[in-house]
Amino acid sequence: MLHIVNKSPFERNALESCLRFGRDGSAVLLIEDGVYAATRGNAVELKIREAMGRLKVYALQPDLEARGMQDAVIDGVNLVDYGGFVDLVAEHKAAQSWL
Amino acid sequence: MNESAGGVDLQEETSGTVKKFMFVNRKAPYGTVYALEGLEVVLISAAFDQDVSMVFIDDGVYELVKGQNTKAIGMKNFSPTYRALEGYDIEKLYVDEESLAARGLTTEKLLVPVEVLNTAQMAELMDQQDVVISF
């Protein structure tokens, strides 16, 4: 399963719920305001780092750049462009958007 | 006659009641339209010669992050506009200390000079306003 989160972890609990229900080995793709969760030095960094032990975490590079956060990405988060986004959707049996 | 009437009008305009307006920004840019719309309303308010302050709380602090580049998402990068606010006499920009810290941000990472306020100071400032508008 590919989980897609597009909301800021500081504004909504979408990421939290996604991580709670996401099973080991599944993938999480952070897009739009969700990309703030892929950055260092903030109050949710530990949650993502813990999740990275059992889930694959991806973030959409264009959304990081738009927000000026491209230099603050947590090591180990995989960056993808729009082509990579399509590949992820195609590779997984289903995609779930946590709106 | 016209000239003197014009002078009187101008006098009346400039001596009109000035109210304290606060615009509260609590949303990250680009994910929703709130940040951009809020900024546009602030620019409009500048035309009315009021006492305007902008505050940035919660994800609103992300609006001011340096180095935004929206080329790849095909949206307008409106962050340079915050630098132009000074030219419209909007110089009171306040940022919530706690919101900055929770996001690992410091004032050096912001694209405009701001005044950082703690919760009590922010609450006091809000209390002094005639009008508070949230985005």
CATH of the domain at B98: 3.40.1260.10
Domain ranges, ordered by start, for chain A? 2-98
CA distance A25 to chain B (A): 28
Residue B8 predicted with pLDDT over 90: no
Number of domains in chain B: 1
Task: Label the pairing between strands A78-80 and A56-60.
Answer: parallel
Residue B9 lies in a domain: no
The predicted structure's pLDDT at residue A85: 98
Please indicate whether residue B13 or residue A18 has the higher confidence score (pLDDT): A18
Mean pLDDT of A33-58: 97
B20 touches A: beta carbon within 8 Å:
no
Q: What is the mean pLDDT of chain A?
A: 97
The predicted structure's pLDDT at residue B5: 47
B8 touches A: beta carbon within 8 Å:
no
Distances (CA, A) of A66 to A33, A45, A69, B20: 10, 20, 8, 33
Over residues A22-39, the pLDDT tens digits come to 999 999 999 999 999 999
- Residue B58's CB: how many other CB atoms inside 10 A? 19
Helix (H, G, I), strand (E, B) or coil at B135: coil
Amino acid identity, position A36: Y
Q: Smallest Cα–Cα separation from B100: which of B111, B92, B90, B109?
A: B109
A2-98 is a CATH 3.40.1260.10 domain: yes
Alpha carbons B26 and A32: distance in angstroms, whole number? 16
Domain limits for position B104: 18-134
- Residue B8's CB: how many other CB atoms inside 10 A? 9
The H or E element containing residue A30 is strand A27-30
Residue B119 predicted with pLDDT over 60: yes
Q: In this structure, what are the phi and psi dihedrals at residue B54, rounded to the nearest 5 degrees? A: -115, 135
A33 touches B: beta carbon within 8 Å:
yes
In chain A, % helix, strand, coil (3-state, to 5) comes to 40, 20, 35
CB-CB under 8 Å, B79 with A66: no
**A residues 55-84 closer than 8 Å to B (CB):** 61-63, 65-72, 81
The H or E element containing residue A59 is strand A56-60
Residue B67 lies in a domain: yes
Q: In the β-sheet with A56-60, what is the strand arrangement from edge to edge?
A: A78-80, A56-60, A27-30, A2-5, A95-98
Of the residues A4, A5, A8, the best mutation for testing chain B's interface (the one with the most B CB atoms within 10 Å of its CB) is: A8
Residue B103 predicted with pLDDT over 70: yes
CB-CB under 8 Å, A11 with B69: no
* B72 chain-A contacts, CB cut-off 8 A: 61-62, 65-66, 81
The predicted structure's pLDDT at residue B16: 78
Amino acid identity, position B105: L
Per DSSP (E only), the strands in chain B are 20-25, 51-56, 92-96, 115-117, 131-134
Mean pLDDT of A1-9: 97
Over residues A85-99, the pLDDT tens digits come to 999 999 999 999 998
Residue B55 lies in a domain: yes
* B102 chain-A contacts, CB cut-off 8 A: 10, 42-43
